[in-house]
Amino acid sequence: MTLVLLGDVFYTKRAIERIVSYPNGIHVFGRPGTNLFTGSPYGEIFAFSFDRDGADEMLDNADRVSADAKRGGRGKIWELYRSLAGFSLDESRTDHRIFVPIHDFTDDIDSPQEDERVAVRYSHLTSSSFVTRGYLYCVSFLRTPHYLLRRFFRRWKRRR
């Protein structure tokens, strides 16, 4: 089994346990949309894995994405996932046969400011104080109703 963990990601223990214990095959681990725990508004890919039987398929799809990038495409891991799922490279869908969702404090880090926020969040998550850990979860879940309402109204506007 080959496992690739992206280096700009904060992983929770639970996420790592899920990733390393997943069965053979080709899998992409990530979050398809907003992170309700951290408030990050975008989907992210955190890791992918494949076994010996999937190595040729990975190479073929990587070649497809690379060729597309040479013609002006993005050439990112999202495009590799879409290619593996059989989607067009610009199609935003989730194939639950290979996409394994991780919904917790695992998140991508794109800037020094995000790195500082992750460090504070981690210190709260690993605190021996139940109150400190509880505070972090309460703050996280206060975002949830706002996110769900925003999403509902966005869909409602599209239907009108």
CB atoms within 10 A of CB 17: 11
CA–CA distance, 155 with 160 (Å, rounded to integer): 9
Global model pTM greater than 0.75: yes
| Crossing angle for the helix pair 130-159 and 112-125, to the nearest 10 degrees | 130
Q: Where are the domains of the chain?
A: 2-108, 112-159
Q: Which two tokens stand for residue 32?
A: 């398809």
52-105 per-position pLDDT tens digit = 999 999 999 999 999 999 999 999 999 999 999 999 999 988 998 999 999 888
Burial class (CB in 10 A: 0-12, 13-18, 19+), 156: exposed
- Dihedral angle, C-alpha 88, 94, 97, 101, nearest 10 °: 140
Q: Tell me the pLDDT tens digit for each residue of 104-140.
A: 889 998 888 888 887 877 777 777 887 777 777 676 6
* pLDDT of 144 above 90: no
